Each structure stands twice: as C-alpha cells, then as structure tokens.
Amino acid sequence: MSNRYLPYNGNFLYPPRIEYKAQPISLKKFDNGEFIAQPKLDGSNTSVSINENVFLAKERHNTFFARPPKFDFLSLYSGFGYMCLAGEYLNKSKKGEDNKPLIGFCIWDILAYNGQILIGSTIEERLEIIDRLYPTTSSRSINGINYIFATNTKDIYKVANYSINFSNIYDTISKIDVVEGLVLKRKSGQLEMMTREQNNIGWAIKVRKPTLNYKF
C-alpha cells in the first residue's frame, strides 16, 4: 500500500455523496474521457467497515438503520486489518430489469483496505481493487447494457462502470425502476478524508431522471 495512506481502525467513514447535479441533456459534454459513470441506484448510501470477525454497516449520516442489512459482509473481507466499503443498500423495494424487487447491497467504492484509508487515491485506482477482490459471476442488463454485476456472495453486487456513450447508457438503464440515473466521477479526483458529510463532493456529479419530487 502507498505511504500516502492513513491508518484505519474501523471507525465510521462518511461515504462520498453527490451534491452537484446536471440535466440529462448535458451528458454529452461530460463524455470527454475525463469521467467514469456509474448507475445511480435508488437505495440507502451505506458505509460498511469490516475485519475478519465483525462488520458495522451504517447509513451516510453515521446512524444505524431501523432495519439493518443482514447480508454476509464478512465474506467480503480480504487482506489484513480493517477495510471499508461504500455501496447502496437496496432497501426500498425498487424493481430490477425483470420487474421484480431488487434486494441486496451494491458496492460502488472502497474507502479503506489493508488497514489503511485510501486518501489521495483516484476512483480508477479504487475500482481496480474492487474488481480484483470481487470477481464478476454474472451480470444484469437491459438492451445489452449491464448495470450491476453479481459477486460470489449472495445478494452482494457491484455497479457497472462506463467510460463512453453516457447519453445512450443513461437513456437505456434509466428505464429500470431501481436506477435513478448516472453518477459521473472525475478520473483525476482524489479521495479526501471522510470525517464529515461534505467531504468528497467536488469530483462527482449526478444526473437523475425526472420524478414527481424533482425535475432532474
């Protein structure tokens, strides 16, 4: 691990949250090689710290869930010391491409690994770790475009990552109930310390499909 990282003792890390937003019509201007896009899933933003014996899953405000996730998080453990995963707890009965409720936990970032907080790392570096730790076993897709991948652990998924064709991907996967839109993450953006909710808002943008509650 890099000497730029900080020791991690399993304490709560605020997962990155997306505050900046853009309209779907503007997606083409971000399709310039500087961003990675991920599906924005309609669930609960969750931070999960794990070691070989115990895990702690909390929602993004550093509070416990009224109905905590009961997935086999310990099977995700790898390396030494504590690790921390960020993902979406799919707890809102939203439907997948098969029109059935999609239940599970979907990984979209890793914040700490081998007992170190990955301060200063880029999203590409962290996605490489995720793909190495959790190989794909199958995919879920619509019209040939994958939006999540299954892992070796039941009900644990990881999101797809896209580097081009954002507009087409958005138009296609947004037809799925559980998909709210896309999150665009700048490749050069570096992970900041996660001591407050406002950290890590500068390198990501959300593009949401319109609903009754908001236009985008």
Residue 156 is part of which domain span? 6-208
Q: Is residue 214 part of a domain?
A: no
Q: Is residue 213 part of a domain?
A: no
> Total structural domains in the chain?
1
Q: What is the mean pLDDT of the chain?
A: 95
On the question of pLDDT at 208 being above 60, the answer is yes
On the question of pLDDT at 42 being above 80, the answer is yes
Name the pTM for this structure: 0.95
Q: Using DSSP bridges, classify how beta strands 6-7 and 138-142 pair: parallel, antiparallel or unpaired.
A: unpaired
Q: Which pLDDT score is estimated for 210?
A: 83
CATH code where residue 170 lies:
3.30.470.30
> Tens digit of pLDDT for each residue in 73-104?
999 999 999 999 999 999 999 999 999 999 99
In whole angstroms, what is the distance from residue 38 CA to residue 14 CA?
19
Q: Is residue 135 part of a domain?
A: yes
- What's the average model confidence in pLDDT over 91-119? 98
On the question of pLDDT at 55 being above 70, the answer is yes
Q: Is residue 215 part of a domain?
A: no
- What's the average model confidence in pLDDT over 97-112? 98
Q: Is residue 91 part of a domain?
A: yes
Q: Is residue 95 part of a domain?
A: yes
Beta bridge partners of 46: 59, 87
Q: Is residue 105 part of a domain?
A: yes
